[in-house]
Structure 1
């Protein structure tokens, strides 16, 4: 192996229908809006391979400042595929997992924002309480609560 070392993971990007709805949902989880911008120009199309494009993005950051979620709404070209209703055993993007303080309280708050519990909240080996939810954008989100913190 060469000397080139991984430095960090900068962000995960998710394409959404409504930036405002997605920002509100992820803000409810506890992420903060770091910034919002429109990305376009020849250089952007060369990176993505889409050619001429116009994308509105919002960068969300976790409270510790280490992890970011880039929310993207494609204005041009239009989105051509929708994987949000794929079951959890599908290839590709599965979900983003967040550790929260109180999973029951968080699920209750997110349901008020249009989220739906996929299965149920379960205990995993007396270590975590876990669940999957579908957010108001249909995105699959995992929530985890460490049991030993109580």
Structure 2
């Protein structure tokens, strides 16, 4: 099964401030959107999920960060993570077959938080807790049907 890291997601208090800082460091904004709806609730596992998002890319084109500022539900403030604390927010993996990826996860006891969602006929995606409670996303790009 082919697998690669797609992006690292980071919840932020102020998406504009985050974009300003990281673009000053040399990252490029690839896209922005505001997401909500049933597909977002299913993929992320939160009811009423509504957030502003932005995807930034490193200058080498290999690394991407996805920032999200929650509109609903309210963001939860926590103490900053220390280097020796286990876990992080989310790591997203682009997979060629989400069913294969979920089958492998299930063998280790990990399952989607809510199910698999389809985003605008572009991606099938889901969130799941992996080892040490690390939040993961699997995303499969959907190919248009051949004529």
Secondary structure class of the residue paired with 1:36? strand
Q: Identify the residue that residue 34 of structure 2 maps to in structure 1.
A: 38
| RMSD between superposed Cα atoms in Å | 1.6
2:88 paired residue number: 93
Q: Please, which of 55, 68, 72 is the counterpart of residue 72 of structure 1?
A: 68
The two structures have a TM-score, normalised by structure 1, of 0.55
Higher relative contact order (CA 8 A, sep 6+): 2
Unaligned runs of 5+ in 2: 90-147
Number of residue pairs aligned between Structure 1 and Structure 2: 89
Q: Which residue of the partner structure matches residue 52 of structure 1?
A: 48
Select the structure that is richer in strand.
Answer: 2
Give unpaired runs (5+ residues) of structure 1: 95-150
Aligned partners of 1:53, 1:5: CA distance in 2, in Å? 30
**1:113-141, CA deviations, whole angstroms, 9 ceiling, x for partnerless residues?**
xxxxxxxxxxxxxxxxxxxxxxxxxxxxx
